[in-house]
Amino acid sequence: EVQMVESGGGLVTPGGSLRLSCAGSGFTFNDHSMNWVRQAPGKGLEWVSSISSYSNDKYYADSVRGRFTISRDNAKNSVYLQMNSLRVEDTAVYYCARDPRVFGDLLYGMDVWGQGTTVTVSS
Amino acid sequence: NFMLTQPHSVSESPGKTVTISCTRSTGNIVSYYVQWYQQRPGSSPTNVIYEDNRRPSGVPYRFSGSIDSSSNSAFLTISGLKTEDEADYFCQSYDLSHVVFGGGTKLTVL
């Protein structure tokens, strides 16, 4: 079964940092680009960042560029989101989601999503 | 960046058919695939349509997707509505540097 499990969420004060992790299983991890998508309480989905199979290409939403960094470790079947200079408006459930294509280029969409990890930024 | 605009909510009776629209603000809707996701309360999103009109395995035939270039819009149609279809639905597309989600449509089946 294809599965993504996120971890690393928690409560952090404004200006602080947090590192999210997402472990993939049930598929050949390094064949697929990966995405982070967030959802603020009671709001819609917002794309955050994407990374290609071998980290050659990284993309960011304007709202997080310069503050968040996406990375992956294919040996550990994991993708990460380093979040710095956190703001109250970054409060959300953060989902990890797979690009279903094998070695797909550019951006696309998602098929399997994790259960999400909650990030709360508050003083 | 472009935007995808969806109606905030729609409602219909069980057994009926409903169509949810998703209009792209700039750029041609046919140039980049559109995906649709269903999200029930308290759950993660699941993909119900990919590449404009293709159904993932396990998604009922009642779900279909289409594209209309004249209105620069994508559509999700659900026929034979069931109470279990009540959920939020999000369209999603992309360009060379961004992925964009529509604001979501709350479907009520009453």
> A105 pLDDT band (50/70/90 cuts)?
confident
Tell me the residues of chain B between 7 and 26 that have a Cβ less than 8 Å away from chain A: none
Residue B100 pLDDT > 90, yes or no? yes
Q: For residue A45, what is the nearest residue in chain B, using CA coordinates? A: B101
Q: Read off the amino acid at residue B48.
A: V
Which of A70, A76, A69, A82 has the alpha carbon at shortest distance from A34?
A: A70
Distance from CA of B35 to the nearest CA of A (A): 7
Residue A104 pLDDT > 90, yes or no? no
The answer for residues whose C-beta is within 8 angstroms of residue B48's C-beta and 6 or more apart is: B36, B37, B38, B55, B56, B59, B63, B76, B89
Whole-number average pLDDT of chain B: 97
- Rounded mean pLDDT, A30-40: 97
Contact list in A for residue B88 (CB cut-off 8 A) is 44
Cα separation of A115 and A23, whole Å?
12
> B94 pLDDT band (50/70/90 cuts)?
very high
- Rounded mean pLDDT, A89-93: 98
Residue A80 pLDDT > 90, yes or no? yes
Whether B89 has its CB under 8 Å from any CB of chain A: the answer is: no
pLDDT of amino acid A103: 85
Please provide the DSSP assignment of A10-55 as one string: EEE-TT--EEEEEEEESS-GGGS-EEEEEE-TT--EEEEEEE-TTS
